[in-house]
């Protein structure tokens, strides 16, 4: 279950199944609790937009404090809608925060190192959280429609198995707030790609228009990789439907900030 928490004016989601392990600090930010204005109000975690960099850095400070993470150690992804899964070590601490982002392509981050907080960013794309309770491995993956078709979630699980000897039955997975079937209208070309890859239930007709269900396609990938259905927690929260609390690219025609997924092994 995704639970909405409020602490010192900051709202963020946590995943109860992850919380119960006691192995991680984690959270998914909302728009509430930051210092940014207008379409970035207020907890914007997106650099390289009209929001001044010092505001964005201050937002990272606030959310890190709230989640009990060391702001200076955050490791940011480099999201380019590809399927590169980057292994993170202590030497990456501060990537994209205290120093320039050194990654060229990293839509997913994975680590077995404690005290290194991973960060991925969203505004409608699908946030994926993974935790191997037995081996002590975490991963975050950014699964937009292209990443979903490239099966970045499934590839992340496969990398956990290969590099860390994870067993699928030990992995908890969670699907965070993202645009849901109710609002993810796509053209016939994209619908066709999903139907070819995931079967007819991945794209549903709403009148004349196709709507894609990325979360269902992702759930199928994860169960295919062996993760038990009961280990997968789907928030079923739509960013478009809840755009006063969450940033939605579609709802705002791109005039928006970014939400962040954060996770660290303790």
* Closer Cβ to Zn ion, 85 or 212, answer by number: 212
Least Å distance, CB 236 to Zn ion, is: 10
Choice from 158, 241, 250, 252 touching Zn ion (CB under 5 A): 241
Least Å distance, CB 184 to Zn ion, is: 8
Least Å distance, CB 81 to Zn ion, is: 21
Residue showing the smallest CB distance to Zn ion in the complex: 238
> According to the binding rule CB under 5 A, does residue 41 interact with Zn ion?
no
Q: Are 43 and 56 in contact (CB under 8 A)?
A: no
* Closer Cβ to Zn ion, 81 or 183, answer by number: 183
* Closer Cβ to Zn ion, 65 or 181, answer by number: 181
Q: Which of residues 201-240 bind Zn ion (CB under 5 A)?
A: 238, 240
What does the alpha-carbon distance between residue 142 and residue 263 come to, in Å, rounded to a whole number? 13
Closest CA to 81 of 40, 122, 46, 119: 122
Size of the site for Zn ion (CB under 5 A): 6
Site string for Zn ion, 141-180 (x = CB under 5 A): ---------------------------------------x
* One-character DSSP codes across the chain: -EEEEEETTEEEEEEHHHHTTTSEEEEEE-STT----GGG-S-----SSSS-HHHHHHHHHHHHHHHT--GGG-EE-B--SS--EEE--GGGTTBTTTB----SSBSEEEE--BT--EEEEESSSEEEEEEETTTTEEEEEEE-HHHHHTTHHHHHHHHHHHHH---GGGEEEEE-SB--TTT-EE-HHHHHHHHHHH-GGGEEEETTEEEE-HHHHHHHHHHHTT--GGGEEE---BTTTTTTTS--TTTTTT----EEEEEEE-
Least Å distance, CB 77 to Zn ion, is: 25
> According to the binding rule CB under 5 A, does residue 126 interact with Zn ion?
no
> According to the binding rule CB under 5 A, does residue 183 interact with Zn ion?
yes
* Sole window of 29-37, 139-147, 183-191, 214-222 interacting with Zn ion (rule: CB under 5 A): 183-191
Choice from 4, 50, 102, 182 touching Zn ion (CB under 5 A): 182
The residue ranges that bind Zn ion (CB under 5 A) are 180, 182-183, 238, 240-241
């Amino acid at each position: 279950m995704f639970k909405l928490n409020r602490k010192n004016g900051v709202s963020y989601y946590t995943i109860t199944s992850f919380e119960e392990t006691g192995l991680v600090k984690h959270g998914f930010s909302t728009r509430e609790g930051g210092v940014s204005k207008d379409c970035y109000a207020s907890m914007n975690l997106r650099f390289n937009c009209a929001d001044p960099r010092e505001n964005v850095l201050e937002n990272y400070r606030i959310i890190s404090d709230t989640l009990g993470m060391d702001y200076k150690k955050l490791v940011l992804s480099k999201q380019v809608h590809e399927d590169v899964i980057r292994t993170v070590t202590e030497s990456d601490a501060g990537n994209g925060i205290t120093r320039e982002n050194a990654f060229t392509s990293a839509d997913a981050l994975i680590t077995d190192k404690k005290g290194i907080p991973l960060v991925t960013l969203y505004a409608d794309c699908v946030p994926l959280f993974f935790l191997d309770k037995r081996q002590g491995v975490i991963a975050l993956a950014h699964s937009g429609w292209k990443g979903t078709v490239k099966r970045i979630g499934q590839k992340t699980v496969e990398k956990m198995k290969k590099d860390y000897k994870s067993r699928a039955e030990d992995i908890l997975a969670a699907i965070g707030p993202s645009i849901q079937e109710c609002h993810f209208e796509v053209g016939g070309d994209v619908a066709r790609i999903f139907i070819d890859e995931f079967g007819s239930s991945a794209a549903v007709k709403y009148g004349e228009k196709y709507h894609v269900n990325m979360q269902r396609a992702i759930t199928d990938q994860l169960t295919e990789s062996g993760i038990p259905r009961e280990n997968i927690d789907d928030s079923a929260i739509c960013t478009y439907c809840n755009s006063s609390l969450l940033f939605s690219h579609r709802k705002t025609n791109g005039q928006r900030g970014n939400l962040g997924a954060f996770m660290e092994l303790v």
